[in-house]
Copies of this chain bind each other. A is one copy, B any other.
């Protein structure tokens, strides 16, 4: 039986289009891709025939031939294995959303991949590049990708001198120092920290900045650590922090849920916010605008980061930049709300809260 005539099953291929249009395969390819030298008449004719047959080029064949798949990997490595933290922290959701939009705008799609280096999944998808969120020190997934020559851009400075294509990050140190100054200005005498046990650069840099600030102003550090991926542990750690004999009169929580955790803990101990306890946490959740009281948050601008990461990565894939690693710092944004407002001097003796509307 003839190959070219009888499509036994499946979609139409470029051969069928060529046959139907009465031209060669080369002509079809050139016509559809805008290459070669063809009169407009031929071009439009081929396009029309292709449309009529419902022709869609095979992505697999094109990828095999060109070496470009148009796919970008997206992975979160730090916080545990199986269940991604996409939903846990609004940061990841925002960042992923921005990254997805930016990628699509340039014709790429994002593939969500596991933190663990499961060969059966990672090697089954042809990636042009990968975005890694919060890589750990000397991250093995990153190392393997780099070894195979796949461009990697990370959200957060990669530790362990990994030769990535680039990274985007906030100036966490400056952010924490500024935030602690803000709390001190608001009257805090002893500022506590709720931090994580993980080794990602965000946690590390923020914590050391806190310690340095303490040293500078001569305050003893007061902090509790917990595994950030475990929401229950966060509540427990918040409780521990407020139960200490050297209880702080202001707390900064590094992770998104810390705000509500600390607020709940404060209620349990009968502490009023902000009268007895000033509160700030790092979060992108708009919910903190409507808690009781509203909580001051530090925004890391995940949308800008997600966009920047993808732009850098695609530039590298398409060979637009020079070969050198791109490093980009995004400013943070402290959104001041009631929970960290300066105690008004007149309210030395704080009465029970008045009824309803403030």
Which residues of A are at the interface with B, using a C-beta cutoff of 8 A? Answer: 10-11, 54, 56-64, 69-71, 82-84, 86-87, 90, 93-94, 96-97, 100-101, 104, 107-114, 118, 120-121, 123-126, 147-149, 260, 263-264, 267, 270, 272, 285, 287, 290-292, 352-353, 355-357
Minimum Cβ distance to chain B for residue A10 (Å):
8
Q: In the assembled complex, which residues on chain B have CB atoms less than 8 Å from the CB atom of A56?
A: 123, 148
Minimum Cβ distance to chain B for residue A316 (Å):
17
Cross-chain pairs A/B with CB under 8 angstroms, 23 sampled: A54-B147, A57-B123, A58-B64, A58-B126, A60-B63, A60-B69, A84-B97, A87-B93, A87-B94, A87-B97, A104-B114, A104-B118, A107-B120, A109-B121, A109-B125, A110-B111, A260-B287, A264-B290, A267-B356, A272-B356, A287-B287, A291-B291, A353-B356
Q: In the assembled complex, which residues on chain B have CB atoms less than 8 Å from the CB atom of A260?
A: 287, 290
Q: In the assembled complex, which residues on chain B have CB atoms less than 8 Å from the CB atom of A126?
A: 58-60, 63
Residue of B nearest to A56 (CB): B123
Q: Which 3 pairs, one residue from A and one from B, show the smallest C-beta to C-beta distance?
A: A352-B355, A87-B93, A292-B292
Alpha-carbon gap, A279 to B278, bound state (A): 31
Minimum Cβ distance to chain B for residue A151 (Å):
14
A100 touches B123 (CB 8 A): no
For A71, A87, A114, A272, the residue with the greatest tally of chain B CB atoms inside 10 Å of its CB is A87
Minimum Cβ distance to chain B for residue A189 (Å):
24
Alpha-carbon gap, A45 to B64, bound state (A): 28
B352 touches A59 (CB 8 A): no
Alpha-carbon gap, A123 to B113, bound state (A): 21
Q: In the assembled complex, which residues on chain B have CB atoms less than 8 Å from the CB atom of A97?
A: 83-84, 86-87
Q: In the assembled complex, which residues on chain B have CB atoms less than 8 Å from the CB atom of A61?
A: 64
Alpha-carbon gap, A147 to B112, bound state (A): 26
Q: In the assembled complex, which residues on chain B have CB atoms less than 8 Å from the CB atom of A84?
A: 97, 100-101
Q: In the assembled complex, which residues on chain B have CB atoms less than 8 Å from the CB atom of A107?
A: 120-121, 124
7 additional contacts (CB under 8 A) given A70-B124, A87-B90? A11-B149, A70-B121, A104-B113, A260-B290, A263-B290, A270-B356, A270-B357
Q: In the assembled complex, which residues on chain B have CB atoms less than 8 Å from the CB atom of A113?
A: 104, 109
For A110, A267, A287, A292, the residue with the greatest tally of chain B CB atoms inside 10 Å of its CB is A287
B109 touches A110 (CB 8 A): no
A121 touches B93 (CB 8 A): no
Q: In the assembled complex, which residues on chain B have CB atoms less than 8 Å from the CB atom of A59?
A: 69, 123-126
B60 touches A64 (CB 8 A): yes
Q: In the assembled complex, which residues on chain B have CB atoms less than 8 Å from the CB atom of A285?
A: 287
Q: In the assembled complex, which residues on chain B have CB atoms less than 8 Å from the CB atom of A82?
A: 101
Alpha-carbon gap, A111 to B126, bound state (A): 12
Q: In the assembled complex, which residues on chain B have CB atoms less than 8 Å from the CB atom of A112?
A: 100, 109-112
Q: In the assembled complex, which residues on chain B have CB atoms less than 8 Å from the CB atom of A108?
A: 121
Residue of B nearest to A91 (CB): B87
Contact of A121 among B63, B90, B104, B353 (CB under 8 A): B104
Q: In the assembled complex, which residues on chain B have CB atoms less than 8 Å from the CB atom of A290?
A: 260, 263-264, 291
Minimum Cβ distance to chain B for residue A22 (Å):
24
Alpha-carbon gap, A287 to B295, bound state (A): 13
